[in-house]
Amino acid sequence: MREVEIVKVDVSAKTAQKIKDYVAEEKPLSIFIDKTQYATIYCSPTNLKELAVGHLLAEGIIKSIEEVESIDFKEKNICYVKLKPNIDFEKRLKLSQHFSRIILSACGGPHQPSKRLPKIKSNLKVKAETILDCVRNLNFMAETFRKTGGTHAAAIYRSDGNRVAFAEDVGRHNAVDKVIGSGALKKIDFGDCFLALSGRLTGDIVFKSAKVGLPIVASLAAALDSGIAVAKDADLTLIGFVRGKRMNIYNFPERILS
């Protein structure tokens, strides 16, 4: 985040004063794979290694962190990913159907066809109270949001509520990519974890989660029909409006214990 000077107007008090305030930052991150420019992502300039790894996993470019030989940042906003020699990047790129090489923070692009997703087989069970507590905790952890009001938050938890990863970003899909990347770098089993986030449950968000095998996705915000459709095709438990003591479960409620 960055400090800026603003004029704060209070209409009821009929006052205007110059003060300093914080705003969220947005910067481009260019990702090169084996010397080929793959994409430029507009994002918050934090946890960039995690963002690159999580994005490549969620888009199907890599299947696991073991397929990556090295990740280097020769400049702040340029990431060079070298895949292991047996990985055919061009073939993976075609299969991923990655439509946009410029990815704006406002949207994650069209979600992939859900028929490409395998069914989630996880036996994970989580108490409803744990889901409520973990989603509620996003507000306490989101320092940049509290100061700027301009970011989304995401976190990955184990079934007992133990946090594995947390990230904020100006883009909700970037925040999800960051925690996926963080989890992958720590070599966690996504099938034993669930995702909590602050943003809307769109098709692209649910696709990313299902692609890496996260069986439960829960948000403060609403689910869209595209997100519900992907969740149904993948047998993913989708939960929206997690607020107070309530939540709406849109699919596969069997994983949630009352």
Hey, how many other C-beta atoms are within 10 angstroms of the C-beta on 119? 9
Nearest to 250 by CA among 211, 189, 202: 202
pLDDT of residue 92: 83
DSSP, collapsed to helix, strand or coil, labels residue 39 as strand
Separation CA 209–CA 120 (nearest Å):
10
Banded pLDDT at 218 (limits 50, 70, 90): very high
User: What percent of the chain lies above the pLDDT cut of 70?
Assistant: 93
pLDDT of residue 114: 43
Instruction: Tell whether the model's pLDDT for residue 95 goes beyond 90.
Output: no
**Scanning the structure block, which residue is given the tokens 């069914």?**
119
Convert the pLDDT of each residue in 60-88 to its tens digit: 899 999 999 999 998 889 999 999 999 98
Hey, how many other C-beta atoms are within 10 angstroms of the C-beta on 99? 9
pLDDT of residue 97: 55
Average predicted confidence (pLDDT) for the chain? 93
Instruction: Tell whether the model's pLDDT for residue 146 goes beyond 60.
Output: yes
Q: Which residues are catalytic?
A: 107
Banded pLDDT at 89 (limits 50, 70, 90): confident
Residue with more model confidence, 106 or 164 = 164
Banded pLDDT at 35 (limits 50, 70, 90): confident
Mutual angle of helices 203-211 and 225-234, in 10-degree steps: 20
List helix spans (H) across the chain: 48-58, 89-96, 128-141, 143-148, 172-185, 203-211, 225-234
pLDDT of residue 104: 76
Convert the pLDDT of each residue in 101-144 to its tens digit: 778 777 655 555 445 689 999 999 999 999 999 999 999 999 99
Enter the DSSP assignment of 170.
Answer: S
Separation CA 46–CA 42 (nearest Å):
12
> Rounded to 5 degrees, what angle do the CA atoms 40, 43, 45 make?
110
Q: What is the pTM of this model?
A: 0.93
Residue type at 163 in one-letter notation: R
Residue-wise DSSP of 76-136 = TTEEEEEE-TT--HHHHHHHHT---SEE-TT---PPPPGGGSPPP-----EEHHHHHHHHH
- Domains of the chain (ranges; CATH) run 27-108 (3.10.20.10), 126-257 (3.40.140.10)
CB 57 within 8 A of CB 212: yes
CB 219 within 8 A of CB 135: yes
In a 10 Å sphere around its CB, with 0-12 CB exposed, 13-18 middle and 19+ buried, how is residue 78 labelled? middle
Banded pLDDT at 98 (limits 50, 70, 90): low
Hey, how many other C-beta atoms are within 10 angstroms of the C-beta on 44? 26
